[in-house]
Structure 1
Amino acid sequence: PGGGGWHQQQDEPMVDSYSSREGTGSQLADELRRLDGRPYPAYKDLIGSWNMGDFTLLLDKAQSDPYAPPSHFRVRVPQSVAKFPAAAYNSKIRNVALCDYLTRQLCQAVSAGGLDNAAENRGWHGSKGGDVRVETPGQHVIQRSAVVVNDQFVEARCTIALPAQGRSIEGHKAAQTLTQYLPHVVAKSLLYAALNASHLHAFLDSIEDQEHLRQSLADHDLVAFVADGS
């Protein structure tokens, strides 16, 4: 997926000042269908926490207009479901590497489902929105805010352009995106059992080895690595 997502500090999600709601995934789907055809700002009624079964979907900030910056969501999977071994994230560098790896897996799952390009351009009154965006990693493995992993949960942060027909809520499409497509993406990318464990651990070991070598440069009076043939 192209650039996207949101860039809050890891422990400071952006939250709207509206009253927060709680409910189940089926209740969220019912609410979205009920809002179908309503004025777009009514999406703000859904700000809060929704129990989707294997994960919690948190709507922190809802856009007030279909042409405004997209809405901020978090997906929080408890470790009792995600089941990542502590050895995969129990040091800072391995935590950074795991978060990077999961961000890449999440981007791939979103792209494979076509959710990064779901918006349709049908003019002012046409259907628009529905696209899911995650902060896309570049070549380097660095600390980012798109995914957070700790002993309690795995949390992914994304933006979603909530669907609209003109300036009215397209509730059925929104329900499909949030309660059908998004759970599939989560199951494909944020659960240890769904990933190639040997590939994941080889990635973590490689990043850890690189960091160790970088930290060893000064001890050997070296300043940098130079590629063969340079």
Structure 2
Amino acid sequence: MKSSDELRQILKRIDHKSYGFYKDLAGGYNFGEYQLFIDHVQGDPFATPSRVRFVVERKFHQFPSRLYDEKCKKVALEDYLLRLLNRNIRAAEQRGMGSGKSGTITTCRPGQEMLERTAVAIGDKLEARIEVGFPARGRTILSDEMEKILFGLLPQIAERTFYYARLRQEELERRMELAVDQQAIAKELQLKKLVAFVADGSILPRLSGVSDLPMKDGIPFTSPESLRVEMNLPYHGRIQGMGIPRGITVITGGGYHGKSTLLRALEAGVYPHIPGDGREYVVTDATALKIRAEDGRCIHHCNISPFISHLPGGQNTDDFITENASGSTSQAANVIEGIEAGAKTLLIDEDTSATNFMIRDALMAKLVTDDKEPITPFIRRIRSLYEDAGISTVIVIGSSGDYLSVADTVLQLDHYRVKDVTARARELCRMENAQVRQQEEPFPQLLFERRLRAGGSGQHERDARGRRDDIKIKTGGRDYVMINHETIDLRYLEQLTDNGQTAALGYMMRIAIQQLLGGNRTVRQVVEHLYSLIDKNGIQSIVPPNYPAGHAVLPRPQEFYQCLNRYRLLK
């Protein structure tokens, strides 16, 4: 490793030379309390900024091991340091150092969730990754400006971020305690046989449709007495709130009264949230998966026969394949694939579902008899899905009243306030003689042994079969990931919450393609292999040194299954 003095000498040597000479800076430099690595140098001032990494030995950072001796605490500590790093970058950054992106300093910008990220990682060493725009005028190197960054701004940022003794230790301790409490709630869900917990006082509404911040003056959540549960958390102590039991839960109410707001809070509850979010103590079964219709998606060898018995033309629904699914076939596949992905709770909103998949009323059943209708609607499977497969459902209903007859729990939203109206719903069902109009069959025990390979023709096949180093990754926010020339549409994966999760999916697909081509593994084996690799070596182990698609944020296995299932080159 070179010294910081050698870095100064290189800067003097390349001053006012063409931009390409900046590549001479690549490598590691010792700055005493930290090491600075220049991992990737941008090609010109207008290109994506250069990749730079801080490394701080434990003897210097001095964070007590008790702050990261559990996974939940480690993620919370890394998240805290990343947010602090962002604040200190904004305080120190000086733009206007030259052309293009000269002088810009950025890193991963987290949302409201505490997630495992590559941007900051702590263990024996503390590592932090940032991007720096190397200064130039036109394509001429400005070493004086670069020296200000390397020997002025970056040391200032490091000093304010990476050393335990210089931080607000009480604030950091509170963050660790929250993470432990959130983990305790997740464990209580299992013990109390709940799919979710929503603490009294939570603020569920968001500021706007494009902001995940809590709504100012939002109505605090209050649990109905019949569903109120109490937990005793390690640090918070006694906490009360609504426990949603396993089984079938229907959420109903008038339009704009908060039904979808509650469901979105449950969707987000699979992740821990930061203090001040309003949903810190909203915790959902970690495997819970949002299911919806998704017209036009591809489907690979999926057994949708529990919902679709036959199709015109004799198409096999036991082994269904299509490049352009309908609303009902896509939602059926999403349910079956969710089961394969290990989801124990399904979250469904009537508004984003295919009507003919969800329900068929009595009048239509008389006109189109069961022997003429290939679709077994979800309402006729929802009970056996729970009783035979152990999968709960939380469903928002505004107009399909038949779901009241199969519900274990019925919640009504009235001006964002929750009422337990289960008894009233059952009374109405008895008065109207409402019942599911076909005897349900047991939900079948499905085998998930799909063995996939990458396929295609021409350029696409060459893309799929290239070495992993040749596979290029590009992302578009949370909307898509592109593997070379093939785009995977992720717009309907509604529980993706961070752009970095899309980048991570790209990096994971990059490895998975090679795994699929190199061995006779099932989809489940590929997913388990990747996540065991990440558990053992950290999320950094799946990311190339220059992380071309951006910082990676770990998605859940459920989202990786969904991404893999939407890759059209798989056969």
Shorter-chain TM band: 0.7 to 0.9
The separation in 2 between residues aligned to 1:121 and 1:60, in whole angstroms, is 22
1:215 aligns with 2:187: yes
Matches within 5 A, 1:41-80: 41-80=20-59
Partner of 1:224, secondary structure, is strand
CA deviation profile, 1:151-190 (whole Å, cap 9, x unmatched):
x211100111111111111111001101111011101011
Partner of 1:136, secondary structure, is coil
1:199 aligns with 2:178: no
CA deviation profile, 1:23-54 (whole Å, cap 9, x unmatched):
21122123213211110011111110000111
Checking the alignment, whether the CA contact within 8 Å between 2:49 and 2:101 is kept in structure 1 is no
Partner of 1:10 in structure 2?
none
Checking the alignment, whether the CA contact within 8 Å between 2:46 and 2:101 is kept in structure 1 is no
Partner of 2:96 in structure 1?
120
Q: In structure 2, what residue type is equivalent to 1:120?
A: G
The separation in 2 between residues aligned to 1:140 and 1:127, in whole angstroms, is 32
Q: In structure 1, what residue type is equivalent to 2:60?
A: V
The separation in 1 between residues aligned to 2:64 and 2:112, in whole angstroms, is 26
Q: In structure 1, what residue type is equivalent to 2:44?
A: D
Larger Rg over CA atoms = 2
Partner of 2:140 in structure 1?
168
Query: 1:121: Cα distance to partner?
Result: 8.4
Percent of residue pairs identical:
33
The separation in 2 between residues aligned to 1:26 and 1:165, in whole angstroms, is 25
1:148 aligns with 2:121: yes
1:138 aligns with 2:141: no
Checking the alignment, whether the CA contact within 8 Å between 2:11 and 2:147 is kept in structure 1 is yes
Checking the alignment, whether the CA contact within 8 Å between 1:121 and 1:127 is kept in structure 2 is no
Partner of 1:184 in structure 2?
156
* Aligned residues: CA RMSD: 1.6
Partner of 1:225, secondary structure, is strand
Q: Could you tell which deviates more after superposition, 134-143 or 210-219?
A: 210-219
**If the length of structure 2 is used for normalisation, what is the TM-score?**
0.34
Query: 1:119: Cα distance to partner?
Result: 3.1
Q: Could you tell which deviates more after superposition, 210-219 or 178-187?
A: 210-219
Partner of 1:142, secondary structure, is coil
Query: 1:85: Cα distance to partner?
Result: 0.3
Q: In structure 1, what residue type is equivalent to 2:105?
A: V
Partner of 2:14 in structure 1?
35
Runs of 4+ more than 4 Å apart: none
CA 100–128 in structure 1, closer or farther in 2 if over 3 Å, else same: closer
The separation in 1 between residues aligned to 2:163 and 2:5, in whole angstroms, is 22
Partner of 2:197, secondary structure, is coil
